[in-house]
Amino acid sequence: MAEAIFFNGGARGSWKVTKQSALKGAGLAGVGFVDRDVKVDTTASWTLSGVTSNLRYTNAAEKKLLDATPSVLAKPGATCAALIPITKSAGWWAMAQDERRAVLEDKSRHIAIGSDYLSVVSRQLVHCRDQPGAQFDFLTWFEFRPEDEGRFDELLGKLRATSEWGFIEREVELRLEKAS
Amino acid sequence: MAEAIFFNGGARGSWKVTKQSALKGAGLAGVGFVDRDVKVDTTASWTLSGVTSNLRYTNAAEKKLLDATPSVLAKPGATCAALIPITKSAGWWAMAQDERRAVLEDKSRHIAIGSDYLSVVSRQLVHCRDQPGAQFDFLTWFEFRPEDEGRFDELLGKLRATSEWGFIEREVELRLEKAS
């Protein structure tokens, strides 16, 4: 069963927004806080929700590597986070599975690049394309220690330079710090 | 954007149930009719819903073949239908993408078998595993002419004999005919 996850953006929440940017396409209404929850907060300015799901591109050898360094959220000291909702183009979704895999990994090394940062960046991929009415395809969530922010920026820079990113048609970034 | 599809089972609908069987795992409450709709019918005994989505396993060569014989629903004369909701095991979903593809196509020839019946069986794959609260992983829908029922039975027989079907842990079948 899919685990549903809700990101409620508004005037309160356990993560304080330190920076909010619309990188491509429409942005989201500016908010002071984001709460990562198991339900909708009806008082929020906006709610983005989706589910964790099975792997879509990762092969057995790559999975073995990922399983050896599981991504653990809420690690002590990981007081920085980022919520990056993204949408890929119709052209991306119209491709066959092997064509998407070829762009994602053979050309763009998405899984390999991410693997280099497993020890410093915890992440969770939330799928929402298949949720009726969803605004985005994915809600990507990252947590890291303040001293690793430079490495996280490096990871984003590498991914955004790939040919896969040419298929991103909407991208919003919220940088967050744990509210005290 | 995903297209949401609802199958409402109850006392009324555009498809009359001619046979309802629980092949594996729990069945569904017996109903006289099924309506294939764009919304929930709150008077129905049960509603199964999901979305159409992108291809998950099909490669470019296979897609080319499928695109050459598009599956068209509501063809004149196609007065028989089947709704077969299925759920695969946790073991299936825990496999990496290449491992699932190896079972589905290399071992089971799922795409190739299906392709042999494209001209007589129209089908639609509705995904529901990623819908919070869904009872099944997929709702598979088929339409065919009464004279092609034997070929449809043959298709089901071939698929159910594959090693992929060893991963099916729940399967219900409803045979339907167009209500006059």
pLDDT at A177 over 90: yes
Confidence (pLDDT) at A1 = 57
Question: Would you say residue B4 lies in a domain?
Answer: no
Confidence (pLDDT) at A133 = 86
ipTM (interface pTM):
0.91
State which residues form the domain around B141. 53-178
Taking the C-alpha atoms of residue A41 and residue A35, their distance in angstroms, rounded to an integer, is 9
3-state secondary structure of B168: strand
| Inter-chain contacts counted by CB atoms under 8 A, chains A and B | 68
Burial B78-93 (b: 16+ CB within 10 A, else e): bbbbbbbbbbbeeebe
What's the CATH number where A64 sits? Answer: 3.30.70.3420
Closest residue by Cα to residue A95 from B2, B4, B68, B61: B61
Which range among A20-24, A75-79, B129-133, B166-170 shows the weakest confidence by mean pLDDT?
Answer: B129-133
Domain count within chain B = 1
Confidence of residue A132 (pLDDT cuts 50, 70, 90): confident
Sign of CA dihedral A52, A53, A57, A60: positive
Residues of B in contact with A102 (CB under 8 A): none
Which tokens is A121 given? Answer: 């960046």
Question: Would you say residue B28 lies in a domain?
Answer: no
Give the residue from B5, B97, B100 with the most A CB atoms within 10 Å of its CB, the best one to mutate. B97
Question: Would you say residue B31 lies in a domain?
Answer: no
Question: Would you say residue A166 lies in a domain?
Answer: yes
Query: B30 Cβ partners below 8 Å, 6+ apart?
Result: B17, B20
- Report pLDDT digits (tens) over B21-77: 999 999 999 999 999 999 999 999 999 999 999 999 999 999 999 999 899 999 999
**Cα radius of gyration (chain B):** 16
Put simply, the answer to whether A93 touches B58 (Cβ < 8 Å) is no
Q: What is the mean pLDDT of chain A?
A: 96
Number of Cβ within 10 Å of residue A48's Cβ equals 22
Q: Does residue A55 sit at the B interface (CB-CB below 8 Å)? A: yes
How far does A74 lie from chain B, in Å, by closest CA?
24
Question: Would you say residue A67 lies in a domain?
Answer: yes
Put simply, the answer to whether B97 touches A55 (Cβ < 8 Å) is yes
Question: Would you say residue A35 lies in a domain?
Answer: no
Put simply, the answer to whether A59 touches B96 (Cβ < 8 Å) is yes
- Rounded mean pLDDT of A143-160? 98
Tell me if B47 sits within 8 A of B8, measured CB to CB.
Answer: yes
Q: What angle do CA B124, B126, B128 make, to 5 degrees?
A: 170
Put simply, the answer to whether A130 touches B2 (Cβ < 8 Å) is yes
Taking the C-alpha atoms of residue B58 and residue B61, their distance in angstroms, rounded to an integer, is 8
Closest chain A CA to residue B51: A130
Question: Would you say residue A162 lies in a domain?
Answer: yes
Question: Would you say residue B19 lies in a domain?
Answer: no
- Rounded mean pLDDT of B118-141? 95
pLDDT at A2 over 80: no
Confidence (pLDDT) at B1 = 57
Residues of chain B numbered 108-127 and touching chain A (CB < 8 Å): 127
Closest residue by Cα to residue A4 from A48, A44, A42, A55: A48
